[in-house]
């Protein structure tokens, strides 16, 4: 059975560094109907304050 990918644009509202990690940032992303917590290995490229207010594309139907 094929499932369509549900892509949504989300707005990053809060970003914190993950303790004991040099690479991970924890993002709070508002995708409209809900807010999601997403962890991404991008701290080598972005400071947390640079990401607040940015829009990102989220695959909304992936299981955790």
Q: Model confidence over 2-55: pLDDT tens digits?
A: 789 999 999 999 999 999 999 999 999 999 999 999 999 999 999 999 999 999
Name residue, tokens 């109907």.
33
- pLDDT recorded at residue 35: 97
- pLDDT recorded at residue 62: 85
The CATH fold assigned to 7-53 is OB fold (Dihydrolipoamide Acetyltransferase, E2P) (2.40.50)
**Euclidean distance between CA atoms 51 and 5, whole angstroms:** 25
Q: Please report, for the chain, the start and end positions of each structural domain, with discontinuous segments joined by +.
A: 7-53
- pLDDT recorded at residue 63: 83
Token pair, residue 20, equals 């004991």
Between vectors from CA 52 to CA 28 and to CA 45, what angle results, nearest 5°? 95
- pLDDT recorded at residue 2: 78
Does pTM top 0.85 for this prediction?
yes
Do the beta carbons of residue 13 and residue 55 sit within 8 Å?
no
Q: Model confidence over 10-20: pLDDT tens digits?
A: 999 999 999 99
């Amino acid at each position: 059975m094929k499932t369509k990918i549900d892509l949504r644009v989300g707005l990053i509202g809060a970003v914190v560094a993950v303790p004991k990690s040099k690479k991970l940032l924890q993002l709070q992303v508002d995708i409209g109907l809900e807010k999601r917590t997403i962890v991404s290995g991008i701290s080598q490229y972005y400071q947390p304050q640079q990401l607040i207010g940015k829009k990102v594309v989220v695959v909304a139907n992936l299981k955790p």
